[in-house]
Structure 1
Amino acid sequence: MNYHEIPELSNFYLEDSYVLAIDEGASSLKFKLEAVLSENHPRYEKPITSEQYCYRKISLCFLNADSFVWTNRNFIAFSDSSGETDYGNIDSFSISDDGYTLSGDWGKVIINGKAIKIVIAD
């Protein structure tokens, strides 16, 4: 199953979304993203002139998880020409019977749990 087949994620393009922060709680993991919205997303707007995509700040939340297993952590920030920093993208998002495996420049994490919630910040 592709992450696009998850209803909550069907109108996002994570490979070109930027990871701004990762917050880990006892049973939750939250990725704060500058996310790419597809044209089918209800909050989609035509991109500004200097951008290729429509971006919105969101939180991608994994809730009530049994565990998080980090097989790699690499929180090294990248800076763009305007001085804004991020931790790269979500390059891989795979789905299993027990949960999800996500990876990118920031590391790799296995999430044992299925609950996902998207919160759009702006």
Structure 2
Amino acid sequence: MTPHSYAAFPSLHDVYLEDSWVLGVFPAEHEVTFRIEAVLTAAHPHYQPPKPGEQYCYALADLQIRSTAPIDHQLSGARPAVDRSGTSDLGNIDTFRPTGPSTWELRGDWGAVTVQHPHVDLALRGTTP
């Protein structure tokens, strides 16, 4: 996998967001939290070989983005997709990139978020079932 601009945030160094599943988006004025099934790369300290039938190592996590400035979030209102196993998700974080000197943008089927001077934390909650 090639390096991504979001690797500028230490907690995302060994995570691949484009194939991580968004399970929920929880916006507030100065923060937004994404509940995700995060793809951990082989370099991540919690990496384990993928489970049978899976391409990646997934871990349940909360991706929290905070700012002292109000965060602009525009949720799409799209209904979750449901796979054959009955698991639902809101797609992926397709992009997380800088759009200016201190402005970052996240986009996906779930909507869009624009944040000034983001503080980013990824808290693992355990492996996926």
Question: Could you say whether these structures have the same fold, taking a TM-score greater than 0.5 normalized by the shorter chain as the test?
Answer: yes
Superposition pairs of residues 27-38 of structure 1, within 5 angstroms? 27-38=30-41
Superposition pairs of residues 64-79 of structure 1, within 5 angstroms? 64-71=67-74, 73-79=76-82
> What SS does the corresponding residue of 1:44 show, helix, strand or coil?
coil
The whole-number CA distance in structure 1 between the counterparts of 2:101 and 2:46 is 31
Structure 1 residue runs of 4 or more that deviate by more than 3 Å after TM superposition: none
Q: Is the 8 A contact 2:90 2:109 kept in 1?
A: yes
> What SS does the corresponding residue of 1:82 show, helix, strand or coil?
coil
Sequence identity, in percent?
A: 33
1:48 aligns with 2:48: no
Q: 2:8 is matched with which residue: 5, 8, 22?
A: 5
Report the equivalent of 1:107.
111
Unaligned runs of 5+ in 2: none
Deviation for aligned residue 1:64: 3.4
User: 1:75-120 CA deviation, whole Å, 9 max, x = no partner?
Assistant: 3200011000000000011123223100001111111232111110
Moved more, 11-20 or 105-114: 105-114
> Could you state the TM-score of these two structures normalised by the residue count of structure 1?
0.91
The whole-number CA distance in structure 2 between the counterparts of 1:63 and 1:6 is 13
Alignment-mate amino acid for residue 7 of structure 1: P
The whole-number CA distance in structure 1 between the counterparts of 2:9 and 2:123 is 15
Q: 1:120 is matched with which residue: 96, 121, 124?
A: 124
Unaligned runs of 5+ in 1: none
The whole-number CA distance in structure 1 between the counterparts of 2:36 and 2:30 is 20
The whole-number CA distance in structure 2 between the counterparts of 1:99 and 1:8 is 18
> Could you state the TM-score of these two structures normalised by the residue count of structure 2?
0.86
CA RMSD of aligned residues (A): 1.6
> What SS does the corresponding residue of 2:71 show, helix, strand or coil?
strand
The whole-number CA distance in structure 2 between the counterparts of 1:5 and 1:64 is 16
> What SS does the corresponding residue of 1:90 show, helix, strand or coil?
coil
The whole-number CA distance in structure 1 between the counterparts of 2:104 and 2:34 is 14
